[in-house]
């Protein structure tokens, strides 16, 4: 430490030039910067945990997806055998897989669009109202956001219950069962997902709008631009970084919805009509002990989300963010 | 009051916008209202097909049923223990890691940062199967550790990424001054940097708390036989019955499960919004 401090003082000493104040400001290397092992020491706990509980399981997931791994192998009754792409062949040859994959993508896309639209619209709304209604909307949204997925799911199922729920009463639907039909069940889950995920978008975008200089918006509205035009031509471009973040987050969350589908449609709906990849993998692995097939589905999910991540990284990089 | 605020007050559409906002707020709050209301309704009213939005005879029967059945208190404590451990441990570990990647220049730094970013995107749910075998091999199935460890690992990348901005914001001059004054690196870390970054830690903790408190999949998959190690989501499922759901019990249990998160949210609300702003801007 003493060596460091003397080194520090050296450049600060007035030079022979006689103009110490105008000397080019060369930032002395901070003592923390030149310390071989310290950063790795700080990183150690994080790296150990991530290595053991994230990287290694990913490797294992890939491995199991290439093995024959069912209850017999798990209990040690039979030796595990290498199946190559056999599991994937089985999976890709199963029409149910493609159906579930399509449902997952469409359902996630619908959730993302609904969440982004609602979140952005309400964020704009928040900027045009006085403090009291704003507080009311903020508080309601925070409440929905804070609600655990499982309680949110049970409450929404109860709201739409054919016998005791208030929604059917108000809408005059009699004993219409929302979870019976495929599309009405997906719609119900979508409503719940929208309810608990729009607040994140709303709050984040609202924070972003507040950071836009007022003069810019004022100038636009004085020039006679419509609300929609202001949003499209002025606000949306300035909010681009934030919009990218919330879009990607929503894609990731909605693509791997598990609890809502599992609880609201009772494990994937009648005859699996409401399965999404996540629940499908879970059912394959833990309900029917086909761990290798479940793992193969997991790998498919991983690959899709990594592709999304790469797109995200490119977008972030293109904006020149320094890491 | 700024000129723009004055302008805004005169807008004719504002009252309409406020009315819309209030209606939406009411609609968004309604499910939570219905949950609490149903938890307090006497059994007869819940089973009635009337579905009235009020009750004239609030009762604690459902709550009593919840706490009497299935060691609910135990589940609650388990949930609290798991979430509490994850929040504290991940805050400390992420603080160290965020300090390393923001205040040091070293080889592989950028690579590590990108890896943390990628790690955030890994679908945790897809890892349930290998984690199940990992926990089995270490004899951790049916223990709270099998819930704590994965959640700890999964909340770290996001926590590090988010804390980065807060650690970066602490001026370097302060660090240099501390060293010149003879502070050791450890002392600077815990007595100067840590308190300064604490607000950021609070904002970050919200996310690790929520993801852990909400966990349903791991609790369902890893706690297979020893129900004394179960957490709240499992307790809730007990009230779903094949013939007829005990809606009063479900709503009471849901209320008990939601309140701690709501309290946590309200407590850190300000920090959360500013924290999000900071993380996003960065």
- Tell whether B184 lies on the interface with A, counting CB pairs under 8 A: yes
pLDDT band at A262 (very low <50, low <70, confident <90, very high): very high
Nearest to B134 by CA among B115, B153, B117, B155: B153
Among A195, A203, A241, select the one facing B273 at the smallest CB separation.
A203
pLDDT of residue A61: 94
Asked if pLDDT for residue A167 goes beyond 50, the answer is: yes
Q: A322 falls in which pLDDT band (50, 70, 90)?
A: low
**pLDDT tier at B87, thresholds 50, 70, 90:** very high
> How far is Cα A94 from Cα A89, in angstroms, rounded to an integer?
9
Residue B60's H or E segment, with its range, is none
Using the predicted structure, report yes or no on whether residue A226 has a pLDDT greater than 70. Answer: yes
pLDDT of residue B2: 46
pTM greater than 0.90 (yes/no): no
End-to-end CA distance of chain A: 29
pLDDT one-digit tens code per residue, A86-143: 899 999 999 999 999 999 999 999 999 999 999 999 999 998 898 899 999 999 998 9
Cross-chain Cβ contact A143/B277 below 8 Å: no
**How far, rounded to the nearest angstrom, does the alpha carbon of residue B85 sit from its chain's CA centroid?**
13
Chain A residues touching B49 at Cβ < 8 A = 163-164, 169
Cβ-Cβ contacts under 8 Å for A2 (sequence gap 6 or more): none
- Name the band, by pLDDT with cuts 50, 70 and 90, for residue A193: very high
What's the pLDDT at B34?
93
Whole-number Å distance between alpha carbons of B102 and B171: 12
Higher pLDDT, A137 or A33: A137
Look at B26 and A140 and tell me if their CB atoms are within 8 Å: yes
Question: What is the overall mean pLDDT for chain A?
Answer: 84
Contact A134 B21 (CB under 8 A): yes
Selection from A307, A260, A257 nearest residue A277 by Cα: A257
Name the percent of chain A lying above pLDDT 70: 88
Which pLDDT score is estimated for B273?
64
Q: pLDDT confidence of A281, banded at 50, 70, 90?
A: very high
Of residues B89, B94, B91, the one with CA closest to residue B160: B94
Supply the pLDDT for residue B276: 60
Instruction: Measure CB to CB from residue A166 to each of B2, B51, B127 and give the nearest one.
Output: B51
CB B55 within 8 A of CB B40: yes
Give A142 to chain B, closest Cα distance, Å.
7
Residue A282 has what pLDDT?
92
> Cβ contact (<8 Å) for A136 and B21?
yes
The least confident of A37-46, B87-96, B121-130 is B121-130
For the residues B207-228, what does the mean pLDDT come to? 87
| Percent of chain B clearing pLDDT 90 (strictly above) | 30
A130-139, B40-49, B164-173, range with greatest mean pLDDT: A130-139
Among B16, B89, B102, B280, the strongest candidate for a mutation testing the A interface, having the largest count of A CBs within 10 A, is B280
CA angle (B143, A277, A75) in 5-degree steps? 45
Query: Does the beta carbon of B11 lie under 8 angstroms from any beta carbon of chain A?
Result: yes
Q: How does residue B128 score in pLDDT terms, banded at 50, 70 and 90? A: very high
* Per-residue pLDDT band at A34 (split at 50, 70, 90): low
Using alpha carbons, select from A1, A39, A323, A48 the residue that is nearest to residue B99: A39
Average pLDDT value for residue range A211-217: 85
Side-chain-side CA neighbours of A135 within 13 Å: the count stands at 5
pLDDT number for residue A26: 45
Beta carbons of B216 and A150 less than 8 Å apart: yes
Does position B24 have pLDDT exceeding 80, yes or no?
A: yes
Angle, CA of A307, A311 and A317, to the nearest 5°: 140
If you average pLDDT over every residue of chain B, what do you get?
85
Q: How many CB pairs under 8 A join A and B?
A: 306
């Amino acid at each position: 430490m003493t060596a460091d401090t003397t080194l520090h003082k050296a450049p600060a000493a007035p030079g022979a030039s006689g103009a110490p104040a105008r000397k080019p400001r060369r930032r002395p290397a901070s003592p923390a910067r030149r310390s071989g092992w310290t950063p790795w020491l700080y990183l150690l706990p994080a790296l150990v945990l991530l290595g053991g509980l994230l990287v290694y399981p990913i490797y294992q997931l890939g491995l199991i997806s290439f093995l024959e791994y069912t209850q017999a192998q798990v209990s040690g009754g039979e030796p595990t055998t290498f199946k190559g792409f056999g599991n994937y062949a089985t999976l890709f040859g199963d029409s149910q897989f493609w159906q579930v994959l399509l449902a997952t993508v469409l359902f996630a896309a619908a959730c993302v669009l609904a969440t982004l639209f609602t979140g952005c619209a309400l964020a704009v709304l928040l900027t045009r109202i006085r403090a009291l209604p704003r507080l009311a909307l903020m508080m309601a949204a925070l409440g929905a956001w804070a609600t655990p997925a499982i309680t949110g799911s049970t409450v929404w199922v109860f709201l739409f219950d054919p016998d005791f729920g208030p929604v059917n009463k108000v809408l005059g639907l009699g004993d219409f069962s929302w979870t019976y039909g495929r599309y009405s069940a997906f719609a119900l889950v979508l409503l719940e997902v929208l309810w608990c995920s729009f607040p994140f978008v709303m709050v984040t975008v609202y924070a972003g709008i507040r950071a836009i200089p007022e003069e810019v918006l004022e100038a636009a509205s004085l020039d006679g631009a419509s609300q929609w035009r202001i949003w499209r031509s002025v606000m949306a471009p300035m909010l681009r970084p934030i919009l990218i973040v919330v879009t990607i987050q929503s894609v990731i969350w909605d693509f791997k919805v598990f609890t809502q589908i599992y609880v609201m449609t009772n494990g994937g709906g009648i005859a699996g009509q409401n399965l999404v990849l996540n629940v499908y993998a879970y059912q394959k692995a833990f309900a029917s002990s086909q761990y290798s097939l479940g793992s193969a589905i997991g790998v498919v999910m991983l690959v899709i989300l990594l592709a999304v991540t790469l797109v995200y990284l490119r977008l972030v990089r293109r904006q020149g963010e320094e890491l | 009051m700024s000129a723009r605020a004055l302008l805004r007050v005169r807008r004719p559409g504002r009252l309409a916008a406020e009315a819309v906002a209030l209606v939406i707020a009411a609609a968004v709050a309604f499910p939570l209202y219905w949950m609490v209301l149903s938890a307090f309704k006497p059994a007869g009213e819940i089973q009635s097909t009337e579905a009235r939005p009020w009750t004239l005879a609030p009762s604690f029967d459902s709550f009593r049923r919840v706490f009497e059945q299935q060691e609910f208190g135990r589940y609650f404590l388990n949930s609290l223990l798991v979430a509490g451990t994850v929040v504290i441990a991940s805050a400390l570990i992420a603080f160290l890691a965020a300090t390393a990647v923001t205040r040091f220049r070293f080889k592989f730094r950028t690579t590590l940062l990108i890896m943390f970013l990628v790690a955030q995107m890994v679908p945790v749910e897809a890892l349930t199967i290998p984690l199940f075998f990992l926990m089995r091999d270490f004899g951790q199935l049916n223990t709270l550790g099998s819930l704590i460890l994965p959640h700890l690992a999964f909340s770290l990348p996001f926590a590090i990424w988010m804390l980065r901005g807060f650690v970066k914001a602490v001026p370097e001059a302060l660090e240099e001054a501390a060293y010149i004054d003879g502070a050791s690196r450890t002392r600077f870390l815990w007595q100067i940097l840590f308190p300064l970054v604490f607000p950021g830690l609070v904002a970050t903790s919200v996310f690790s708390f929520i993801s852990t408190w909400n966990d349903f999949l791991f609790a369902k998959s890893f706690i297979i036989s020893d129900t004394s190690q179960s957490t709240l989501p499992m307790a809730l499922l007990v009230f779903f019955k094949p013939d007829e759901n005990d809606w009063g019990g479900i709503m009471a249990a849901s209320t008990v499960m939601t309140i701690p998160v709501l309290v946590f949210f309200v407590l850190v609300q300000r920090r959360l919004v500013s924290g999000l702003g900071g993380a996003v801007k960065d």
